A and B are shown apart, each in its own frame.
Chain A
């Protein structure tokens, strides 16, 4: 359905579209968006995880005891899908070991711990002019600077910026921030709009896109005004700030693309195939800082809200322990736990001491009053309210049915992997069933089984090759033995002839027998030469002859180049 009338202030009237479903939870953003961003000073230590992004973990490139500068790389990208990790401030590396990380499992992973020295000394950094630098160089800078998607997926941004694969018409900047409680993008847009737009220009250049559309939900009027003012102030061409209706999950990439452009990115299709690429506004900001100022991704805005005295947004260095951050916000005594992310899609933080990661956009302190424990679940009554609100147009009740019965084949048939785990279905379920837990479980199980099948395939191949190798060794041994037998037989024959000759002629001189033996040896040598004659030099096919002619021509050329004045050698 199209909503006419939402204009960009002076231009044509743009038609927006609607995506299927969506819910309207309580927004709860006013608690934390009233105060400006507070820059957090140096914490007591920084615990920086090596796995801060999708793809392979970064590999540590520093040693314990080494002094590092602010912005110095402490982890280098490994493999194609990977990114770098940097020291958020100057200090000494005190440990490279397994620490608990901000992951729902609560398991440890490799982290580099740095104790700041208080000097905040920068490493050498240099900005470049994006208009005169080559695209591949710009992408390389982004990869080295650790710029990843800050909307939550933390996918290395340089991998999304290759213009050669598809023609990109529209670059969408995602400032929607649809999840309740979270306001980090809101404040970033209010305070640093100019830099976000400069970053957008860099992204547009890399993608060779025609237009830039910035989608912001209409519950953020200050941010919309600030961004529009910035567009006008720096006179950005073909860039438009669009206020989209507030609905959860309007900030999902496919959903926002649908609203702004009307394009429906179907299941299994990437948005780039349809000419659209989507980036978060914070990613654009970091891309600008990395390219224009040479600053790697060292900090991010984190919303701290919920059961705290002073809910607000902080600019936090990556690796800051969460408990120190909570202390700054004034964690109340009846807080029972912390949620990383928002109330719809967030996960429980296993430990308060984990370091802030690039993916952490919000920390909510939960108390029994604010987040009461979930009511006991009732059986599914197939009311299909969940299907009514699913933004991906799936059938959540069927997916629940199959995930519960562990019927993973059917779950995949019903497009389980198109679920974006937004939680809208669980939000409306009248039976209080934790639907998203089932989908997460099913997805993990399916991946696990696929990995097992692949490993079994590999093991089978190795086993079959081993059988083949043993057979081949047996065959070679048999051949060798056969040859030895033949040689032994020939030698015996000669010896027999010699003894026959000496037997029949006792006065025969040694010379005669010698001659006989020489003859026999010559005969043997000829036989051996005949046997190791190269196979098939006579009946050559036309293609083989052409190959040989080519090789000979090349040899002649090389010989000429090597010895220009030597004569032609006979072959």
Chain B
């Protein structure tokens, strides 16, 4: 009886020492997974996921606090990429979280009063302007996050959907008639 206990104790102590040493030797700083998740996210910084930006959302996913289907701008593809990266099952969007068409913001220059509230709101600094000067959106940098719409006191910003033109056109997935065997 005693020998049995001693033997098990001995094994336990030995393993414990080994594991203790290795936990110090193999210590991992930070969480490189967060960078990998952040690289997959679309960087619109829109906050639709409920987190203030894409990096905080990535951190939440890495911790396991957030679900992978919270990001509408990434689309279903984004969810699939996250699922592949994390080795989890694909999960479709919930109700009302479906992605909208890509759009850029447009300021109505007749109405703009130059208050700079939208400039402070834009997460990627895509609005150019100064106090009491005209504000305008740099269309190329706008990610369509819609964070500038709310602060505007005169409601002069609207979202224009991006139209496809000849430079953005691409071949579609081929759909052809398959033979039907009667």
**A and B touching (C-beta < 8 Å)?**
yes
In the complex, how many angstroms separate the beta carbon of B36 from the nearest chain A beta carbon? 14
Q: Produce 1/0 per residue, A88-128, CB < 8 A to B.
A: 00000000000001011101110000000000000000000
Interchain pairs with CB closer than 8 A, number: 77
Interface positions of A from 355 to 401, Cβ below 8 Å from B: 374-379
Tell me what chain B mostly uses at the interface: helix, strand, loop, or mixed: loop
Q: Which residue of chain B has its CB nearest to the CB of A464?
A: B55
Report A-chain residues with C-beta under 8 Å of the C-beta of B54.
460, 463
Complex CA–CA separation, A445 to B177 (angstroms): 22
Q: Produce 1/0 per residue, A449-473, CB < 8 A to B.
A: 0001000111110110110010000
Q: Which residue of chain B has its CB nearest to the CB of A107?
A: B166
Please state if B125 and A441 are interface contacts (CB–CB under 8 Å): no
Report B-chain residues with C-beta under 8 Å of the C-beta of A438.
174
* In the complex, B173 has a CB within 8 A of chain A: yes
* In the complex, B103 has a CB within 8 A of chain A: no
* In the complex, B70 has a CB within 8 A of chain A: no
Number of interface residues of A (CB under 8 A): 36
Most chain A CB within a 10 A radius of its CB, from B54, B124, B171: B171
Q: Which residue of chain B has its CB nearest to the CB of A451?
A: B168
Report B-chain residues with C-beta under 8 Å of the C-beta of A456.
41-43
* In the complex, B170 has a CB within 8 A of chain A: yes
Please state if B169 and A107 are interface contacts (CB–CB under 8 Å): yes
Contact of A463 among B53, B173, B174, B179 (CB under 8 A): B53
Number of interface residues of B (CB under 8 A): 28
Q: Which residue of chain B has its CB nearest to the CB of A375?
A: B179
* In the complex, B180 has a CB within 8 A of chain A: yes
Complex CA–CA separation, A375 to B177 (angstroms): 9
Please state if A466 and B44 are interface contacts (CB–CB under 8 Å): no
Report B-chain residues with C-beta under 8 Å of the C-beta of A379.
178
* In the complex, A28 has a CB within 8 A of chain B: no
Please state if B143 and A376 are interface contacts (CB–CB under 8 Å): no
Contact of B179 among A104, A108, A377, A457 (CB under 8 A): A377
* In the complex, A134 has a CB within 8 A of chain B: no
Report A-chain residues with C-beta under 8 Å of the C-beta of B123.
463, 466
Report B-chain residues with C-beta under 8 Å of the C-beta of A109.
165-166
* In the complex, A434 has a CB within 8 A of chain B: yes
* In the complex, A440 has a CB within 8 A of chain B: yes
Please state if B125 and A466 are interface contacts (CB–CB under 8 Å): yes
Report A-chain residues with C-beta under 8 Å of the C-beta of B109.
none
Please state if B166 and A459 are interface contacts (CB–CB under 8 Å): no
Q: Produce 1/0 per residue, B129-158, CB < 8 A to A.
A: 000000000000101000000000000000
* In the complex, B116 has a CB within 8 A of chain A: no
Please state if B178 and A445 are interface contacts (CB–CB under 8 Å): no
Report A-chain residues with C-beta under 8 Å of the C-beta of B170.
441, 444-445, 447-448
Please state if B178 and A459 are interface contacts (CB–CB under 8 Å): no
Q: Produce 1/0 per residue, B48-87, CB < 8 A to A.
A: 0000011000000000000000000000000000000000
Please state if B166 and A457 are interface contacts (CB–CB under 8 Å): no
Complex CA–CA separation, A463 to B124 (angstroms): 5
Q: Which residue of chain A has its CB nearest to the CB of B45?
A: A463
Complex CA–CA separation, A445 to B169 (angstroms): 11
* In the complex, B3 has a CB within 8 A of chain A: no
* In the complex, B26 has a CB within 8 A of chain A: no
Report A-chain residues with C-beta under 8 Å of the C-beta of B43.
456-457, 459-460, 463
Report B-chain residues with C-beta under 8 Å of the C-beta of A458.
141
* In the complex, B110 has a CB within 8 A of chain A: no
Please state if B166 and A103 are interface contacts (CB–CB under 8 Å): yes
* In the complex, A437 has a CB within 8 A of chain B: yes
Contact of A459 among B124, B179, B180 (CB under 8 A): B124
Report A-chain residues with C-beta under 8 Å of the C-beta of B125.
462, 465-466, 469
Q: 24 A-B contacts, Cβ less than 8 Å apart?
A: A51-B166, A103-B166, A103-B169, A104-B171, A109-B165, A376-B179, A378-B179, A434-B176, A437-B171, A441-B171, A441-B174, A444-B170, A448-B170, A456-B41, A456-B42, A456-B43, A457-B43, A459-B44, A460-B43, A460-B54, A462-B141, A463-B45, A463-B53, A466-B125
